[in-house]
């Protein structure tokens, strides 16, 4: 099947009125929840994951992908309007976006973000369609040693991107890996770390962990120091860009798309890196670098495009290798598994309608996003003025009811409370939660492939460096750690992160 | 010279050591195996050991410098009421049923914010109850008793 007939199949799935409707609902809900301050895409998807469970796989995943870019876009809106990024990738948008909003240019900032995202998303989706099939074919020749090395690479790249202490990020990954081992051992069936509870034999519930660490912990964090947010912008006017604005954003959007598409493929959180990379590239290339941080439209358009391009291309490792590039993709894996599909190189051959349907729906979704958001921006501004004291009880209840509705397992609710507490303590003490989640999802895969590789090699660990692809991946992983530890890059990382405070 | 310690680093280090120690101790009960055929205990012991070392390193670094920020007060009210509500929800949803549990949970969680008074908390919980009923029971067809067997209805 060539690319175009495949895409034709995809569009026949994606344009099915039923699927378009759910894509629309997903984009709408994603934006709606993503706009709420303090809730980033990860928490949004974790909360909305249960409601996709009753749908058939294509529709559920199309809706979920819609929720994802809706949430991402909603997060940028919040970042621009009230300087409260829901996730670190939106932190870059907040730097100049919020300044533009304060100068009364919220409209152009939002429009630049929307148009940049749409352009970048469309291009990156095309790249995904073009490169996923050959990569999936290549991935079929991956053996366990290659998978093991790739997972190690993904985990180590993710620490290079976490804020603050590298030691803490490493420890969070290892803790995540260990939590992933709870449940029956895959080879012998021995129940591990279950306290004898039958509910734990299948492992800890992923949604409960994600909701606890990202949702509940965040609420506790906000209750530490309660103050009402200020919505500086009461109404957004002048959504359209001037000709001058168009001229200023064209090149940043293009560069952002290239940077984002390339970095997004990296396992381990390329979308955050890409937003920062694009921002610093624009700042360096600009003729007026002094405007950055004071409301430069390039500083919104570039990172937003990069971020969105990376969001699309980060589906490549997921769909071809079954390896999540960042926590949101980890949730996507959770969704695939809930639907009884193992993500990986076989999806494209065994479920072509699903695979191409998701890809085609990304265009539909991105288009719906632009159509939906620019006119509805007034509604989002209103959403921002919902006081937190009304919002957080809703989040707590949605978390409990939603998690319960997945498996009808009471034990999962206790797990939310436990991970809410642990997550809160760790975040309070300066640890980032994202590496923990990534470790948790990759833990079982890591163990399975390590053990299988060792059996194949008859206990010889040299197998990981003797096979060329595996050796190259491990070398990249080592390079990622070295880069993160080297002093001048450390300093630079701090500079970038200081700016967004 | 004042003795400066980063309380955050020491505390997070301690959490890592505690988790690592638990996983290692528990994993010694499982078969360790050989590198050729790893048993169920192999990975947890290795990773737990790494976690202990990392935790110690984090804590050791904490003894070298002080926290840059003043510690924020603990949100005791929020911790007890939010986490308590979740546990309450889990313990009673089967027995009391959807509507009473959502009403009570919404009310108590809302009260954990100093900005809510009993009246506003009541309004929030009633509103949420209607919303959750509409979304989960009507919209998603979740099967859950509205009033549980513990209530004499």
Inter-chain CB pairs, A–B, below 8 Å? 197
Considering the domain architecture, whether residues B54 and B87 belong to the same structural domain is answered as no
User: B141 vs A219: CB contact, 8 Å cut-off?
Assistant: no
Contacts of A387 in chain B (CB under 8 A): 115
What domain count does chain B have? Answer: 2
- What was the pLDDT predicted at A275? 80
Considering the domain architecture, whether residues B58 and B80 belong to the same structural domain is answered as no
Model confidence band, residue A1 (pLDDT cutoffs 50, 70, 90): low
Between A233 and B41, the higher pLDDT residue? B41
DSSP A366-432: HHHHHHHHHHHHHHHHHHHTS-HHHHHHHHHHHHHHHHHHHH--HHHHHHHHHHHHHHHHHHHTT--
Q: Does residue B67 lie within any of the structural domains?
A: no
Give pLDDT tens digits for A107-118.
Answer: 888 888 888 888
- What was the pLDDT predicted at B44? 92
Between B125 and A103, the higher pLDDT residue? B125
**For chain A, domain boundaries:** 3-499
Q: Which one of B62, B87, B105 terminates a domain?
A: B62
Question: What is the 3-class SS of A33-50, one letter each residue?
Answer: HHHCCCCCHHHHHHHHHH
Q: Does residue B98 lie within any of the structural domains?
A: yes
Model confidence band, residue A172 (pLDDT cutoffs 50, 70, 90): very high
Sign of CA dihedral A268, A263, A85, A207: negative
User: A167 vs B58: CB contact, 8 Å cut-off?
Assistant: yes
User: B19 vs A178: CB contact, 8 Å cut-off?
Assistant: yes
Between A33 and A17, the higher pLDDT residue? A17
CB A282 within 8 A of CB A235: no
Q: By percentage, how much of chain A surpasses pLDDT 90?
A: 6
Considering the domain architecture, whether residues B80 and B53 belong to the same structural domain is answered as no
**Range ranked top by mean pLDDT from A279-293, A305-319, A425-439, B83-97:** B83-97
From CA A109, how far away is CA A82, in angstroms rounded? 13
Scanning B28-153, the segments in alpha helix (DSSP H) are: 42-62, 76-96, 98-111, 118-132
- What was the pLDDT predicted at A331? 80
Give pLDDT tens digits for A450-495.
Answer: 999 998 888 888 888 888 888 988 998 888 788 777 755 555 555 5
User: B16 vs A223: CB contact, 8 Å cut-off?
Assistant: no
Considering the domain architecture, whether residues B55 and B93 belong to the same structural domain is answered as no
Is the pLDDT at B92 greater than 80? The verdict is yes
- Which of A107, A31, A77 lies closest to A365 in space, CA to CA? A31
- What was the pLDDT predicted at A162? 61
**Cα-only R_g, chain A:** 22
Give pLDDT tens digits for A139-152.
Answer: 777 888 888 888 88
- What was the pLDDT predicted at A501? 34
From CA A452, how far away is CA A340, in angstroms rounded? 23
- What was the pLDDT predicted at A224? 81
From CA A317, how far away is CA A320, in angstroms rounded? 5
Give pLDDT tens digits for A292-345.
Answer: 877 788 888 888 888 888 888 888 888 887 777 777 787 888 788 778 887 878
Model confidence band, residue A87 (pLDDT cutoffs 50, 70, 90): low
Which residues face A183 on adjacent strands? Answer: A192
Q: Does residue B150 lie within any of the structural domains?
A: no
Sign of CA dihedral A420, A186, B53, B26: positive
Is the pLDDT at A239 greater than 80? The verdict is no
Q: Hey, of B23, B24, B45, B86, which one would you mutate to test binding to chain A, going by the most A CBs within 10 A of its CB?
A: B86
- Nearest CA to CA, how far is A338 from chain B (Å)? 16
Residue A303 makes CB contacts below 8 A (sequence gap 6+) with A89, A92, A93, A256, A274, A275, A276, A278, A279, A282
Report DSSP state, residue B135.
I
Helices and strands in chain B, H and E counts:
5, 0
Q: Does residue B31 lie within any of the structural domains?
A: yes
Q: Is B74 on the interface with A (CB under 8 A)?
A: yes
If you average pLDDT over residues B58-85, what whole number do you get?
84
From CA A274, how far away is CA B145, in angstroms rounded? 48
- What was the pLDDT predicted at B86? 94
Is the pLDDT at A163 greater than 70? The verdict is no
If you average pLDDT over residues A360-373, what whole number do you get?
85
Model confidence band, residue B1 (pLDDT cutoffs 50, 70, 90): very low
- Count Cβ atoms within 10 A of the Cβ of residue A145 and give its class: 0-12 exposed, 13-18 middle, 19 or more buried: buried
Contacts of A461 in chain B (CB under 8 A): 35
Mean pLDDT over each residue of chain B, to the nearest integer? 87
Q: Which one of B15, B39, B62 terminates a domain?
A: B62
Range of the domain at B84: 76-139
Considering the domain architecture, whether residues B100 and B126 belong to the same structural domain is answered as yes
From CA A27, how far away is CA A65, in angstroms rounded? 8
Q: Does residue B71 lie within any of the structural domains?
A: no
- What was the pLDDT predicted at A489? 56
Q: Does residue B30 lie within any of the structural domains?
A: yes
Model confidence band, residue A499 (pLDDT cutoffs 50, 70, 90): very low
Mean pLDDT over each residue of chain A, to the nearest integer? 81
Residue B61 makes CB contacts below 8 A (sequence gap 6+) with A165, A167, B6, B9
Q: Does residue B151 lie within any of the structural domains?
A: no
CA distances from A151 to A267, A268, A323, B42, B43 (A): 8, 9, 7, 18, 15
**Segment 85-144 of chain B within 8 Å of chain A by CB:** 85-87, 89-91, 93-94, 102, 105-106, 109-110, 112-116, 120, 124-125, 128, 131-132, 135-136, 139-144
Q: By percentage, how much of chain A surpasses pLDDT 70?
A: 90
Say how many C-beta atoms besides its own lie within 10 A of residue A108's C-beta. Answer: 23
Contacts of A165 in chain B (CB under 8 A): 9, 58, 61
Give pLDDT tens digits for A218-227.
Answer: 788 888 876 6
């Amino acid at each position: 099947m060539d690319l175009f007939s495949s895409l034709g199949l995809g569009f026949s799935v994606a344009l099915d009125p039923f699927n378009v409707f759910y894509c629309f609902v997903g984009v709408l809900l994603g934006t709606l929840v993503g706009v709420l301050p303090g809730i980033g895409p990860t928490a949004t998807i974790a909360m909305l994951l249960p409601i996709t469970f009753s749908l058939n796989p294509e529709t559920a995943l199309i809706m979920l992908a819609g929720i994802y870019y809706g949430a991402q876009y909603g997060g940028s809106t919040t970042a621009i309007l009230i300087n409260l990024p829901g996730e670190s990738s939106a932190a870059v948008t907040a730097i100049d976006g919020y300044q533009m909003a304060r100068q009364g240019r919220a409209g152009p900032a939002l429009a630049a973000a929307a148009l940049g995202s749409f352009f970048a998303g469309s291009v990156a989706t095309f790249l995904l369609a073009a490169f996923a099939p050959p990569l999936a074919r290549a991935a079929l020749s991956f053996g366990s040693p290659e998978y093991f090395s790739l997972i190690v690479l993904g985990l180590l790249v993710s620490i290079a991107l976490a804020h603050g202490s590298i030691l803490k990020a490493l420890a969070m990954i290892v803790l995540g890996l260990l939590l992933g081992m709870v449940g029956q051992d895959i080879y012998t069936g021995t129940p591990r770390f279950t306290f004898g509870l039958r509910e734990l034999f299948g492992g800890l519930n992923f949604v409960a962990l994600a909701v606890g660490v990202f949702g509940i912990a965040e609420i506790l964090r906000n209750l530490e120091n309660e103050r009402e947010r200020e919505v500086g912008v009461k109404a957004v006017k002048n959504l359209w860009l001037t000709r001058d604005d168009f001229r200023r954003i064209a090149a940043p959007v293009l560069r952002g798309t290239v940077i984002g598409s390339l970095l997004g493929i990296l396992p381990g959180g390329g979308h955050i890196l890409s937003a920062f990379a694009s921002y610093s590239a624009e700042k360096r290339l600009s003729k007026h670098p002094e405007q950055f941080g004071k409301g430069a439209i390039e500083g919104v358009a570039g990172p937003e495009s990069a971020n969105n391009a990376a969001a699309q291309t980060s589906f490549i490792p997921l769909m071809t290798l079954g390896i999540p590039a960042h926590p949101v993709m980890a949730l996507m894996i959770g969704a695939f598994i809930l639907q009884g599909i193992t993500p990986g190189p076989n999806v494209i051959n065994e479920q072509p309608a699903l695979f191409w349907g998701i890809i085609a729906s990304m265009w539909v979704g991105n288009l719906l996003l632009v159509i939906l958001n620019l006119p509805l921006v007034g509604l989002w501004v209103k959403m921002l003025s919902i006081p937190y004291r009304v919002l957080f009880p809703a989040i707590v209840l949605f978390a409990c009811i939603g998690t319960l509705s997945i498996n009808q397992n009471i034990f999962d609710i206790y797990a939310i409370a436990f991970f809410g507490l642990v997550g809160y303590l760790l975040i309070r003490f300066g640890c980032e939660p994202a590496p923990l989640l990534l470790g948790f999802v990759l833990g079982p895969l890591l163990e399975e492939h390590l053990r299988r590789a060792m059996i194949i090699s008859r206990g010889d660990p040299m197998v990981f460096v003797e096979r060329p692809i595996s050796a190259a991946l491990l070398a990249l992983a080592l390079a990622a750690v070295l880069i993160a530890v080297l002093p001048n890059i450390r300093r630079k990382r701090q500079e970038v992160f200081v700016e967004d405070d | 010279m004042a003795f400066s310690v980063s309380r955050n680093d020491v505390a997070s280090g301690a959490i890592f050591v505690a988790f690592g120690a638990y996983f290692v101790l528990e994993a010694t009960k499982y078969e360790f195996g050989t590198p050729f055929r790893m048993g169920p205990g192999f990975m947890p012991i290795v990773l737990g050991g790494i976690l202990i070392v990392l935790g110690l390193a984090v804590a050791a670094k904490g003894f070298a410098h002080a926290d840059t920020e003043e510690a924020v007060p603990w949100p005791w009210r929020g911790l007890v009421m939010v986490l308590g509500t979740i546990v309450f929800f889990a313990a009673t949803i089967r027995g009391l049923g959807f509507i009473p549990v959502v009403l009570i949970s919404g009310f108590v969680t809302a009260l954990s914010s100093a900005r809510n008074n009993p009246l506003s908390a009541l309004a929030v919980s009633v509103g949420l109850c209607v919303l959750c009923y509409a979304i989960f029971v009507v919209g998603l067809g979740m099967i859950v008793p509205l009033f549980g067997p513990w209530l004499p209805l």
